[in-house]
Structure 1
Amino acid sequence: MTDNETSRRGSGAPRKTAGAFDIRNIIGLLLGIYGVVLLLAGFFLDQARDKTGGVNANLWTGLGLAVAAAVFLTWARLRPIVVPEHVEPAETDPTRPGPTRRGGGH
């Protein structure tokens, strides 16, 4: 068992997760919207089978996007990103690229 698993299971305090700000939720939502739009287009609009070699491309692409959206949303639900309670300030990190702060006034 790793330290991360031990700390998650050992403490009874509720963990803070990224929730809606988890990038997997955002990607899953966008893929799901596009997938539903393409599924509806595949069912109700011109299927243009002569352009795609006899395949309803909108229907199959929409189905693939809907499955990918379900995978992303399920992944985010089953393995949420835990936000640490305390993070060291960026100023104390010597490996951080960027300008350094000078001591004193302006």
Structure 2
Amino acid sequence: MSDHFSEEDVQREVTELEQKSATAARIFDLRRIIGGLFVLYGVIVTITGLTDGQAAIDKAEGININLWTGIGMLLLGVFFLVWLRLRPVAPPTEAGMGDERPPSD
């Protein structure tokens, strides 16, 4: 039995791999990971700041440091997620998929 692939089979396989690569690039975009973690931790720290007693606030010289830090983390996380939404990862182009050889003069 011969393992002979037609040009159409090869092209279909290349297209599938390009789609998987673009999907993986979107899923593992660092902006998504960083933004998600900052939002998650920001929510936790903000809730801690909202429930802090007066003793914790006095310990930080009258500043509810957990509340302000949590709000800052939330804002930073939202910034990363909005940035991801406004400037998504571009799918790879055919020009970027070819040889990495410099052009000959």
- TM-score, L = length of structure 2: 0.63
Matched, 1:19 2:26: yes
Determine whether 1:61 maps to 2:82.
no
The CA RMSD measured in Å over matched residues stands at: 2.1
Identity of aligned residues (%): 44
Equivalent in the alignment of 2:86: 78
Tell me by how many angstroms 1:35 deviates: 0.2
Deviations 1:51-103 (A, max 9, x none): 211000110000000000010000001001113154247xx669xxxxxxxxx
Gap runs ≥5 in structure 2: 1-21
Query: Residue type matched to 2:84 in 1?
Result: A
> What letter matches 2:69 in structure 1?
T
The correspondence for 1:33, drawn from 40, 61, 69, is 40
Higher-Rg structure is 2
Q: Where has structure 1 moved over 6 Å in runs of 4 or more?
A: none
Q: Which has a greater percent of helix?
A: 2
**SS of 2:58 mapped into structure 1:** coil
Match of 2:6 in 1: none
Give the distance between the partners of 2:79 and 2:40, measured in 1 at CA.
14
